[in-house]
Amino acid sequence: MGLDPRARRFLDLLAASTRPSSDTPSLDDLRQATAGLAAFAAPAPEVDRRDDVLPDGALALRHYCPRGRADDVLPTLLYFHGGGWIAGGLETCDALCATLAARGACRVVALDYRLAPEHRFPAAIEDGLAALSALSAAPRRFGVDARRLGVAGDSAGANLAVVVARAFGAPLAMHLLLCPVMEPLGRTRSRAALASGHLIDEATMARYWDLYRVDGLAPDDPRVAPLRAADFAGLPPALIHVAECDPLRDEGEDYAAALAREGVSVRLTTHAGQIHHFYGLGGVIPAAQAALDRIGDELRETFAAMAG
């Protein structure tokens, strides 16, 4: 199909408005770039929101659920925002989480996990496990249907969602991944073919890894590269969405194939003409917002099928 014309226009405008940078992007530049993308999201639907903290008060959460259902027990996703493990937060994923909650008829709990380089690997994973344990241990406090509790994330947040699901040690209902990073320094065909000019590039990915890693941690360690795991049996059912014109496309598709080979239920969608982070660009790419709406509908249908 080729690149969506609206996505091409967005990339051209972004390139024209971005000052030239060195080969090594600074931490501040990367964080500002991630924060700036939130301006291109479609307006968030009306949902019930509330800010919260984990029981120990150490980590911030934001709860989303359909309007008028704040007191109901609902299927729930713990959500990990994107940003290369070093950027982003509750505000950068706000519209996305609201859309998933509204269209998915579920509760979404966004986690403000600690960021590198101030808190390198495995801090974000530890935070995710703490949050998931809290939701699982006290479902009534959070309004969680314990039988339908899963994890979700986008980009590096999807990476964290998979790693946390593997480490959690108890069954989960599902994991939902949007444009996942499955290897920090992957060498797939899509990474080579789309290495620059498609929102995320190889220099940025290398910088993310350098800021996240610790000495002795290899980029193919399954705790940072879930695609390199020895096996995939026992993982929860997966909904995986990748973008045709995203350098990360192939590793998301490869992960879906690896799950399927192990007999894990997986539904893979490759969004034609779309770019990395398309799900957050609905304000400038109408087809991307329509795709996000369909993702929410898929989430609702999947959770509904688990209710019986």
Tens digits of residue pLDDT in 59-81: 999 999 999 999 999 999 999 99
Q: Tens digit of pLDDT for each residue in 222-267?
A: 999 999 999 999 999 999 999 999 999 999 999 999 999 999 999 9
Mean pLDDT along residues 6-24 = 84
- Does residue 164 contact residue 132 with C-beta atoms inside 8 Å? yes
Is a pLDDT exceeding 90 seen at residue 22?
no
Residue 8: predicted pLDDT: 97
Residue 140: predicted pLDDT: 92
Where do the domains of the chain lie, and which CATH numbers do they carry?
Answer: 5-305 (3.40.50.1820)
Q: Would you please indicate which residues are annotated as catalytic (active-site) residues?
A: 155, 246, 276
Q: Tens digit of pLDDT for each residue in 265-274?
A: 999 999 999 9
Q: Tens digit of pLDDT for each residue in 25-58?
A: 899 999 999 999 999 999 999 999 999 998 888 8
Is a pLDDT exceeding 90 seen at residue 282?
yes
CA distances from 268 to 238, 251, 252, 258 (A): 8, 12, 9, 12
When pLDDT is cut at 50, 70 and 90, the band that residue 85 belongs to is: very high
In this structure, the dihedral spanned by the alpha carbons of residues 85, 100, 271 and 185, taken in order and rounded to 10 degrees, is 10
Residue 55: predicted pLDDT: 80
Distance CA 202, CA 77 (A): 30
Contact partners, residue 201, CB within 8 Å, separation at least 6: 195, 247
When pLDDT is cut at 50, 70 and 90, the band that residue 184 belongs to is: very high
Q: Tens digit of pLDDT for each residue in 235-244?
A: 999 999 999 9
| % of the chain at pLDDT higher than 70 | 98
Is a pLDDT exceeding 70 seen at residue 106?
yes
Residue 21: predicted pLDDT: 58
Residue 6: predicted pLDDT: 97
How high does pLDDT run on average in the chain? 96
The residue among 22 and 150 whose pLDDT is bigger is 150
When pLDDT is cut at 50, 70 and 90, the band that residue 275 belongs to is: very high
